[in-house]
Structure 1
Amino acid sequence: MIKLKETLIENPVIAAIRNDNDLEKAILSNANIVFILYGDILSIKDICSKLKENGKLVFVHLDLVEGLRGDQAAIRFIKDSVRTDGIISTKASNIRYANHLNLYAIQRIFAIDSLSLKTGIRSIHETNPTAVEVMPGVANKIISVIEREVKVPIIAGGLITKKKDVMDALSSGAVAVSTTDSTLWNL
Protein backbone atom coordinates (compact mmCIF):
# COMPACT_ATOMS: atom_id res chain seq x y z
CA MET A 1 0.00 0.00 0.00
CA ILE A 2 1.33 3.41 -0.93
CA LYS A 3 1.92 6.00 1.75
CA LEU A 4 -1.13 8.25 1.64
CA LYS A 5 0.40 11.24 3.43
CA GLU A 6 3.23 11.55 0.90
CA THR A 7 0.77 11.16 -1.98
CA LEU A 8 -1.42 13.93 -0.55
CA ILE A 9 1.56 16.24 -0.10
CA GLU A 10 2.66 15.62 -3.70
CA ASN A 11 -0.94 16.00 -5.00
CA PRO A 12 -2.58 18.59 -2.73
CA VAL A 13 -5.69 19.28 -4.83
CA ILE A 14 -8.23 16.45 -4.79
CA ALA A 15 -11.04 16.29 -7.34
CA ALA A 16 -14.34 15.74 -5.52
CA ILE A 17 -16.89 14.60 -8.09
CA ARG A 18 -20.68 14.71 -7.83
CA ASN A 19 -21.85 13.54 -11.27
CA ASP A 20 -20.76 12.00 -14.57
CA ASN A 21 -19.79 15.39 -16.01
CA ASP A 22 -17.39 15.88 -13.08
CA LEU A 23 -16.11 12.33 -13.68
CA GLU A 24 -15.05 13.19 -17.23
CA LYS A 25 -13.41 16.45 -16.07
CA ALA A 26 -11.54 14.60 -13.30
CA ILE A 27 -10.22 12.01 -15.76
CA LEU A 28 -8.78 14.79 -17.92
CA SER A 29 -7.48 16.86 -15.01
CA ASN A 30 -4.10 16.95 -13.30
CA ALA A 31 -5.74 15.78 -10.05
CA ASN A 32 -4.30 12.37 -9.15
CA ILE A 33 -6.70 11.75 -6.25
CA VAL A 34 -10.47 11.64 -6.67
CA PHE A 35 -13.22 11.58 -4.05
CA ILE A 36 -16.44 10.06 -5.43
CA LEU A 37 -19.44 11.78 -3.84
CA TYR A 38 -22.21 10.21 -5.94
CA GLY A 39 -23.41 7.05 -7.59
CA ASP A 40 -25.31 3.98 -6.59
CA ILE A 41 -24.66 0.32 -6.04
CA LEU A 42 -25.10 -0.35 -9.78
CA SER A 43 -22.80 2.42 -11.09
CA ILE A 44 -20.04 2.74 -8.50
CA LYS A 45 -17.86 -0.06 -9.92
CA ASP A 46 -17.88 1.51 -13.40
CA ILE A 47 -17.13 4.99 -12.00
CA CYS A 48 -14.15 3.64 -10.04
CA SER A 49 -12.91 1.57 -12.98
CA LYS A 50 -12.83 4.58 -15.29
CA LEU A 51 -10.79 6.54 -12.76
CA LYS A 52 -8.42 3.65 -11.98
CA GLU A 53 -7.85 3.05 -15.72
CA ASN A 54 -6.65 6.64 -15.89
CA GLY A 55 -4.20 6.26 -13.02
CA LYS A 56 -6.24 7.98 -10.31
CA LEU A 57 -6.20 7.14 -6.61
CA VAL A 58 -9.90 6.62 -5.80
CA PHE A 59 -11.89 7.09 -2.59
CA VAL A 60 -15.61 6.37 -2.33
CA HIS A 61 -17.68 8.40 0.12
CA LEU A 62 -19.55 5.44 1.54
CA ASP A 63 -22.29 7.58 3.11
CA LEU A 64 -23.25 9.11 -0.27
CA VAL A 65 -23.53 6.05 -2.53
CA GLU A 66 -27.18 5.06 -2.93
CA GLY A 67 -28.04 1.47 -2.17
CA LEU A 68 -25.09 0.91 0.16
CA ARG A 69 -25.67 0.77 3.86
CA GLY A 70 -22.87 2.01 6.03
CA ASP A 71 -22.04 -1.44 7.33
CA GLN A 72 -19.33 -4.07 7.11
CA ALA A 73 -20.83 -5.77 4.05
CA ALA A 74 -20.80 -2.49 2.13
CA ILE A 75 -17.15 -1.90 3.00
CA ARG A 76 -16.20 -5.44 1.93
CA PHE A 77 -18.11 -4.88 -1.33
CA ILE A 78 -16.27 -1.58 -1.93
CA LYS A 79 -12.92 -3.28 -1.32
CA ASP A 80 -13.42 -6.61 -3.08
CA SER A 81 -15.80 -5.80 -5.96
CA VAL A 82 -15.32 -2.11 -6.62
CA ARG A 83 -11.58 -2.19 -5.84
CA THR A 84 -11.32 1.34 -4.56
CA ASP A 85 -8.23 2.60 -2.74
CA GLY A 86 -10.22 3.74 0.27
CA ILE A 87 -13.39 5.08 1.75
CA ILE A 88 -14.59 8.34 3.20
CA SER A 89 -17.18 8.32 5.97
CA THR A 90 -18.47 10.30 8.91
CA LYS A 91 -19.22 7.09 10.79
CA ALA A 92 -16.63 5.84 13.28
CA SER A 93 -17.65 2.19 12.79
CA ASN A 94 -16.95 2.46 9.04
CA ILE A 95 -13.50 3.92 9.68
CA ARG A 96 -12.63 1.16 12.15
CA TYR A 97 -13.76 -1.61 9.81
CA ALA A 98 -11.97 -0.12 6.79
CA ASN A 99 -8.79 -0.06 8.90
CA HIS A 100 -9.39 -3.71 9.77
CA LEU A 101 -9.55 -4.53 6.02
CA ASN A 102 -6.39 -2.49 5.30
CA LEU A 103 -8.32 0.06 3.25
CA TYR A 104 -7.45 3.71 3.48
CA ALA A 105 -10.06 5.36 5.69
CA ILE A 106 -10.70 9.08 5.58
CA GLN A 107 -12.88 10.33 8.40
CA ARG A 108 -14.96 13.37 7.46
CA ILE A 109 -15.79 15.69 10.34
CA PHE A 110 -17.92 18.80 10.40
CA ALA A 111 -16.40 21.41 12.70
CA ILE A 112 -19.24 23.87 13.14
CA ASP A 113 -18.73 24.81 16.78
CA SER A 114 -16.45 24.09 19.73
CA LEU A 115 -18.42 20.99 20.78
CA SER A 116 -18.25 19.41 17.30
CA LEU A 117 -14.53 20.20 17.19
CA LYS A 118 -13.93 18.50 20.56
CA THR A 119 -16.10 15.51 19.56
CA GLY A 120 -14.31 15.23 16.21
CA ILE A 121 -10.86 15.20 17.79
CA ARG A 122 -11.95 12.54 20.29
CA SER A 123 -13.39 10.43 17.47
CA ILE A 124 -10.17 10.73 15.44
CA HIS A 125 -8.17 9.45 18.41
CA GLU A 126 -10.59 6.53 18.85
CA THR A 127 -10.84 5.46 15.19
CA ASN A 128 -7.29 6.11 13.97
CA PRO A 129 -8.22 7.05 10.38
CA THR A 130 -5.61 7.25 7.64
CA ALA A 131 -6.53 10.92 7.16
CA VAL A 132 -9.20 13.39 8.23
CA GLU A 133 -11.28 15.64 6.01
CA VAL A 134 -12.31 18.79 7.89
CA MET A 135 -15.48 20.55 6.74
CA PRO A 136 -15.70 23.40 5.97
CA GLY A 137 -12.28 23.61 4.40
CA VAL A 138 -12.12 27.37 4.78
CA ALA A 139 -12.07 27.04 8.57
CA ASN A 140 -8.34 27.72 8.83
CA LYS A 141 -8.34 28.31 12.58
CA ILE A 142 -10.02 24.95 13.14
CA ILE A 143 -7.60 23.19 10.81
CA SER A 144 -4.62 24.49 12.77
CA VAL A 145 -6.19 23.37 16.08
CA ILE A 146 -6.88 19.87 14.75
CA GLU A 147 -3.40 19.68 13.20
CA ARG A 148 -1.88 20.27 16.65
CA GLU A 149 -4.13 17.68 18.32
CA VAL A 150 -3.97 14.68 15.96
CA LYS A 151 -1.19 12.90 14.13
CA VAL A 152 -2.95 12.05 10.86
CA PRO A 153 -2.96 14.04 7.60
CA ILE A 154 -5.67 16.67 7.34
CA ILE A 155 -7.63 17.36 4.16
CA ALA A 156 -9.64 20.59 3.96
CA GLY A 157 -12.96 20.13 2.18
CA GLY A 158 -16.03 22.23 1.51
CA LEU A 159 -16.36 25.78 0.22
CA ILE A 160 -12.92 25.70 -1.46
CA THR A 161 -13.57 27.87 -4.54
CA LYS A 162 -10.45 29.99 -5.08
CA LYS A 163 -6.72 29.43 -5.28
CA LYS A 164 -6.42 31.57 -2.13
CA ASP A 165 -8.66 29.09 -0.28
CA VAL A 166 -6.29 26.28 -1.29
CA MET A 167 -3.23 28.22 -0.18
CA ASP A 168 -4.84 29.30 3.11
CA ALA A 169 -5.88 25.74 3.97
CA LEU A 170 -2.41 24.37 3.17
CA SER A 171 -0.69 27.08 5.19
CA SER A 172 -2.99 26.31 8.17
CA GLY A 173 -1.78 22.73 8.38
CA ALA A 174 -3.85 20.79 5.84
CA VAL A 175 -1.76 18.56 3.57
CA ALA A 176 -4.39 18.66 0.81
CA VAL A 177 -7.79 20.09 -0.14
CA SER A 178 -10.78 18.43 -1.78
CA THR A 179 -12.91 20.58 -4.02
CA THR A 180 -15.78 20.17 -6.46
CA ASP A 181 -14.55 23.27 -8.33
CA SER A 182 -12.96 21.77 -11.43
CA THR A 183 -11.10 25.02 -12.20
CA LEU A 184 -8.85 24.23 -9.22
CA TRP A 185 -8.08 20.63 -10.21
CA ASN A 186 -5.20 21.72 -12.46
CA LEU A 187 -3.33 23.90 -9.94
Structure 2
Amino acid sequence: MLKFKEELIGNPIIAAVRNDEDLKLAALSRAVIVFVLYGDIMSITQICSRLRDNNKLAFVHVDLIDGLKGDLAGIRYIKQFAKPDGIISTKSSSIKYGNQLDLVTIQRVFILDSLSLKTGIKNIHENNPDALEVLPGIASRIIGDFEKKMKIPIIAGGLIKEKKDVMNCLSTGAIAISTTTRKLWDL
Protein backbone atom coordinates (compact mmCIF):
# COMPACT_ATOMS: atom_id res chain seq x y z
CA MET A 1 0.00 0.00 0.00
CA LEU A 2 2.81 2.42 0.83
CA LYS A 3 4.29 1.94 -2.66
CA PHE A 4 0.88 2.62 -4.21
CA LYS A 5 0.41 5.84 -2.24
CA GLU A 6 3.93 6.99 -3.19
CA GLU A 7 3.16 6.25 -6.87
CA LEU A 8 -0.06 8.29 -6.63
CA ILE A 9 1.81 11.24 -5.16
CA GLY A 10 4.60 11.05 -7.73
CA ASN A 11 2.30 10.28 -10.67
CA PRO A 12 -1.07 11.91 -10.07
CA ILE A 13 -2.42 11.41 -13.61
CA ILE A 14 -4.00 7.97 -14.01
CA ALA A 15 -4.83 6.71 -17.50
CA ALA A 16 -8.28 5.11 -17.56
CA VAL A 17 -8.61 2.83 -20.58
CA ARG A 18 -11.87 1.69 -22.18
CA ASN A 19 -10.63 -0.15 -25.28
CA ASP A 20 -7.56 -1.57 -27.03
CA GLU A 21 -6.66 1.75 -28.66
CA ASP A 22 -6.66 3.46 -25.25
CA LEU A 23 -4.53 0.60 -23.90
CA LYS A 24 -1.97 1.04 -26.67
CA LEU A 25 -1.69 4.80 -26.02
CA ALA A 26 -1.65 4.44 -22.22
CA ALA A 27 1.15 1.86 -22.43
CA LEU A 28 3.26 4.45 -24.27
CA SER A 29 2.22 7.44 -22.15
CA ARG A 30 3.92 9.00 -19.13
CA ALA A 31 1.11 7.75 -16.88
CA VAL A 32 2.44 5.10 -14.49
CA ILE A 33 -0.92 3.93 -13.14
CA VAL A 34 -3.62 2.60 -15.46
CA PHE A 35 -7.24 1.85 -14.60
CA VAL A 36 -8.58 -0.93 -16.84
CA LEU A 37 -12.28 -0.27 -17.50
CA TYR A 38 -12.93 -2.94 -20.12
CA GLY A 39 -12.21 -6.53 -21.08
CA ASP A 40 -13.51 -10.00 -20.38
CA ILE A 41 -12.24 -13.10 -18.66
CA MET A 42 -10.52 -14.17 -21.88
CA SER A 43 -8.64 -10.90 -22.48
CA ILE A 44 -7.91 -9.44 -19.04
CA THR A 45 -4.73 -11.47 -18.51
CA GLN A 46 -3.28 -10.16 -21.79
CA ILE A 47 -4.33 -6.58 -20.98
CA CYS A 48 -2.60 -6.65 -17.59
CA SER A 49 0.46 -8.37 -19.07
CA ARG A 50 0.82 -5.63 -21.68
CA LEU A 51 0.72 -2.98 -18.97
CA ARG A 52 3.29 -4.82 -16.83
CA ASP A 53 5.55 -5.17 -19.90
CA ASN A 54 5.44 -1.37 -20.17
CA ASN A 55 6.20 -0.84 -16.45
CA LYS A 56 2.68 0.31 -15.62
CA LEU A 57 0.68 -0.43 -12.49
CA ALA A 58 -2.61 -2.04 -13.54
CA PHE A 59 -5.85 -1.72 -11.59
CA VAL A 60 -8.77 -3.75 -12.91
CA HIS A 61 -12.30 -2.44 -12.45
CA VAL A 62 -13.77 -5.86 -11.71
CA ASP A 63 -17.39 -4.70 -12.16
CA LEU A 64 -16.67 -3.96 -15.83
CA ILE A 65 -15.04 -7.27 -16.83
CA ASP A 66 -17.46 -9.32 -18.92
CA GLY A 67 -17.93 -12.89 -17.72
CA LEU A 68 -16.55 -12.17 -14.26
CA LYS A 69 -18.62 -12.45 -11.13
CA GLY A 70 -17.39 -10.25 -8.28
CA ASP A 71 -17.48 -13.06 -5.74
CA LEU A 72 -14.45 -14.46 -3.93
CA ALA A 73 -13.71 -16.95 -6.73
CA GLY A 74 -13.92 -14.21 -9.38
CA ILE A 75 -11.56 -11.92 -7.51
CA ARG A 76 -9.21 -14.86 -6.84
CA TYR A 77 -9.26 -15.62 -10.58
CA ILE A 78 -8.29 -12.03 -11.43
CA LYS A 79 -5.46 -12.08 -8.90
CA GLN A 80 -4.08 -15.44 -10.01
CA PHE A 81 -4.35 -15.09 -13.78
CA ALA A 82 -4.38 -11.37 -14.63
CA LYS A 83 -2.02 -10.43 -11.78
CA PRO A 84 -3.06 -6.77 -11.51
CA ASP A 85 -1.58 -4.48 -8.89
CA GLY A 86 -5.07 -4.02 -7.52
CA ILE A 87 -8.78 -3.83 -8.17
CA ILE A 88 -11.45 -1.15 -8.40
CA SER A 89 -15.11 -1.73 -7.57
CA THR A 90 -18.31 0.02 -6.59
CA LYS A 91 -19.37 -3.15 -4.75
CA SER A 92 -18.58 -3.57 -1.07
CA SER A 93 -18.25 -7.35 -1.39
CA SER A 94 -15.59 -7.09 -4.14
CA ILE A 95 -13.56 -4.69 -1.99
CA LYS A 96 -13.80 -7.06 0.99
CA TYR A 97 -12.69 -10.03 -1.14
CA GLY A 98 -9.83 -8.00 -2.61
CA ASN A 99 -8.68 -7.08 0.90
CA GLN A 100 -8.84 -10.74 1.95
CA LEU A 101 -6.60 -11.62 -1.01
CA ASP A 102 -4.08 -8.84 -0.20
CA LEU A 103 -4.82 -6.83 -3.34
CA VAL A 104 -4.69 -3.04 -3.30
CA THR A 105 -8.36 -2.03 -3.36
CA ILE A 106 -9.97 1.15 -4.65
CA GLN A 107 -13.61 1.79 -3.76
CA ARG A 108 -15.35 3.77 -6.50
CA VAL A 109 -18.18 6.00 -5.26
CA PHE A 110 -20.66 7.97 -7.35
CA ILE A 111 -21.90 11.03 -5.47
CA LEU A 112 -25.30 12.11 -6.73
CA ASP A 113 -26.79 13.70 -3.61
CA SER A 114 -26.35 14.00 0.16
CA LEU A 115 -27.65 10.46 0.73
CA SER A 116 -25.05 8.94 -1.60
CA LEU A 117 -22.37 10.98 0.21
CA LYS A 118 -23.50 9.61 3.58
CA THR A 119 -23.74 6.06 2.23
CA GLY A 120 -20.32 6.36 0.60
CA ILE A 121 -18.68 7.42 3.86
CA LYS A 122 -20.37 4.54 5.70
CA ASN A 123 -19.20 2.01 3.08
CA ILE A 124 -15.62 3.28 3.20
CA HIS A 125 -15.50 2.85 6.97
CA GLU A 126 -16.94 -0.68 6.68
CA ASN A 127 -14.86 -1.88 3.73
CA ASN A 128 -11.46 -0.34 4.50
CA PRO A 129 -10.28 0.11 0.90
CA ASP A 130 -6.76 1.35 0.28
CA ALA A 131 -8.04 4.32 -1.73
CA LEU A 132 -11.26 5.99 -2.75
CA GLU A 133 -12.22 7.14 -6.24
CA VAL A 134 -14.90 9.86 -6.16
CA LEU A 135 -17.04 10.46 -9.24
CA PRO A 136 -17.68 12.92 -10.67
CA GLY A 137 -14.17 14.18 -10.06
CA ILE A 138 -15.13 17.75 -10.85
CA ALA A 139 -17.16 17.94 -7.62
CA SER A 140 -14.40 19.58 -5.61
CA ARG A 141 -16.44 20.35 -2.51
CA ILE A 142 -17.35 16.69 -2.17
CA ILE A 143 -13.70 15.70 -2.45
CA GLY A 144 -12.96 18.10 0.40
CA ASP A 145 -15.74 16.53 2.49
CA PHE A 146 -14.31 13.04 1.99
CA GLU A 147 -10.75 14.24 2.55
CA LYS A 148 -11.70 15.62 5.98
CA LYS A 149 -13.33 12.32 7.04
CA MET A 150 -11.01 9.72 5.50
CA LYS A 151 -7.42 8.78 6.10
CA ILE A 152 -6.93 7.10 2.73
CA PRO A 153 -5.85 8.53 -0.65
CA ILE A 154 -8.66 10.07 -2.70
CA ILE A 155 -8.65 9.77 -6.49
CA ALA A 156 -10.98 12.01 -8.50
CA GLY A 157 -12.49 10.56 -11.66
CA GLY A 158 -15.20 11.34 -14.16
CA LEU A 159 -15.73 14.39 -16.37
CA ILE A 160 -12.10 15.52 -16.05
CA LYS A 161 -11.38 16.96 -19.48
CA GLU A 162 -8.99 19.90 -19.04
CA LYS A 163 -5.77 20.68 -17.17
CA LYS A 164 -7.72 23.13 -14.99
CA ASP A 165 -9.96 20.23 -13.87
CA VAL A 166 -6.85 18.30 -12.83
CA MET A 167 -5.43 21.25 -10.92
CA ASN A 168 -8.75 21.95 -9.21
CA CYS A 169 -9.14 18.34 -8.05
CA LEU A 170 -5.58 18.17 -6.75
CA SER A 171 -5.94 21.48 -4.93
CA THR A 172 -9.11 20.41 -3.12
CA GLY A 173 -7.71 17.23 -1.57
CA ALA A 174 -7.50 14.55 -4.26
CA ILE A 175 -4.09 12.87 -4.37
CA ALA A 176 -4.54 11.82 -8.03
CA ILE A 177 -7.06 11.88 -10.87
CA SER A 178 -8.18 9.20 -13.31
CA THR A 179 -9.21 10.23 -16.79
CA THR A 180 -10.03 8.80 -20.18
CA THR A 181 -8.97 12.12 -21.76
CA ARG A 182 -5.82 11.04 -23.57
CA LYS A 183 -4.29 14.52 -23.85
CA LEU A 184 -4.02 14.65 -20.04
CA TRP A 185 -2.09 11.37 -19.71
CA ASP A 186 1.20 13.08 -20.48
CA LEU A 187 0.87 16.09 -18.14
Q: What TM-score, normalized by structure 2, do the two folds share?
A: 0.98
- Equivalent residue for 1:87? 87
- Equivalent residue for 1:21? 21
- Equivalent residue for 1:6? 6
Question: What displacement does 1:33 show?
Answer: 0.2
What are the residue-to-residue correspondences of 1:57-96 with 2, within 5 Å?
A: 57-96=57-96
The answer to whether residue 46 in structure 2 is matched with residue 52 in structure 1 is no
**SS of the residue 2:155 aligns to:** strand
The one-letter amino acid paired with 2:149 is E
In structure 1, how many angstroms separate the alpha carbons of the residues matched to 2:60 and 2:68? 11
- Equivalent residue for 1:135? 135
Unaligned stretches of 5+ residues in structure 1: none
In structure 2, how many angstroms separate the alpha carbons of the residues matched to 1:108 and 1:137? 11
Bigger shift: 93-102 or 60-69? 93-102
Question: What displacement does 1:3 show?
Answer: 2.2
What are the residue-to-residue correspondences of 1:25-174 with 2, within 5 Å?
A: 25-174=25-174
Question: What displacement does 1:84 show?
Answer: 0.5
Question: What displacement does 1:108 show?
Answer: 0.1
In structure 2, how many angstroms separate the alpha carbons of the residues matched to 1:150 and 1:111? 16
In structure 2, how many angstroms separate the alpha carbons of the residues matched to 1:155 and 1:71? 24
Aligned CA RMSD, in angstroms, stands at 0.8
In structure 1, how many angstroms separate the alpha carbons of the residues matched to 2:68 and 2:55? 25
Unaligned stretches of 5+ residues in structure 2: none
**SS of the residue 2:79 aligns to:** helix
In structure 2, how many angstroms separate the alpha carbons of the residues matched to 1:143 and 1:111? 10
The one-letter amino acid paired with 1:173 is G
The one-letter amino acid paired with 2:43 is S
In structure 2, how many angstroms separate the alpha carbons of the residues matched to 1:153 and 1:131? 5
The one-letter amino acid paired with 1:85 is D
The one-letter amino acid paired with 1:178 is S
In structure 1, how many angstroms separate the alpha carbons of the residues matched to 2:121 and 2:3? 22
- Equivalent residue for 2:181? 181
In structure 2, how many angstroms separate the alpha carbons of the residues matched to 1:96 and 1:41? 21
Aligned sequence identity (%): 62
Question: What displacement does 1:31 show?
Answer: 0.2
Question: What displacement does 1:5 show?
Answer: 1.4
User: What is the CA deviation profile of residues 41-88 of structure 1, one whole-angstrom value per residue up to 9, with x for unaligned ones?
Assistant: 101100110000110000000000000011111110111111111000
**SS of the residue 1:167 aligns to:** helix
The one-letter amino acid paired with 2:141 is K
Question: What displacement does 1:2 show?
Answer: 5.1
